Structure 1
């Protein structure tokens, strides 16, 4: 058997080793601790990993707490976490997880998802249609960005993770 016939199998095996753990719990709702005047909700995924001998492995069942100004929740990893969408008033939040008597905190910065989605669509046009796609995509993104109503922009948190060192 030739090596080129083994390559597809090796590639699939390598990619499956990097696959994230399946999220089997429903999305985790937040608790409002004061009036938030939220316009809706957004979600992000949160995961935990251990690192041993340079190798990173996902850990399931790590207890975590999300804390933001006026809201919180508790969950175990991996999880899809629901956060309030309050527009440009979105504040920094944090997730703290504990594993093997070690606590790790990840700061979550809100980002303008509306503008990020517009830019992602322009980048997709560049990838799919080359230089002409990049030019047309960037012009379209600029027009969309300037014509949108910024008061309706959606702010969200990026999916994130924490990494623990195995003892």
Structure 2
């Protein structure tokens, strides 16, 4: 199973990386209603941090961003499974295909997590460099302002009307 295909089916909702029931059903090669029935029969295995039902607003938001395509008229909102929820699915969908797909999905989540960790490290390095550069630019800016102001001050002093005694 292609890792990229799975990664493209991982979305961010409520601050969690999730997969939707119809995407999982497609990967498992079962109907969505079959997957949902299996989950409903085993709801005690799926606490809120493993699986939740999307609100209409969340679902509309995903479709409006073209993250997911609209799946026609829906009577029920899709279930969203976190990484732990996907792992739990393997215990209720007991087929060879489900096990293979679950292994691939868990690997996709691991790769995604590694990319995010690498991104975080890179972001921290960039922030550190920006801070150093801002300090250097601030020093350069102060030096330039001093030089510009020095020339202006000299020009102003030369243009000032002199006071005091004049020597003949």
TM over 0.5: no
TM-score computed with the length of structure 1 as normaliser: 0.24
Q: Which of these two proteins has the greater Rg computed from alpha carbons?
A: 2
Larger strand proportion of the pair: 1
Q: Which has the higher helix share?
A: 2
TM-score (norm 2): 0.23
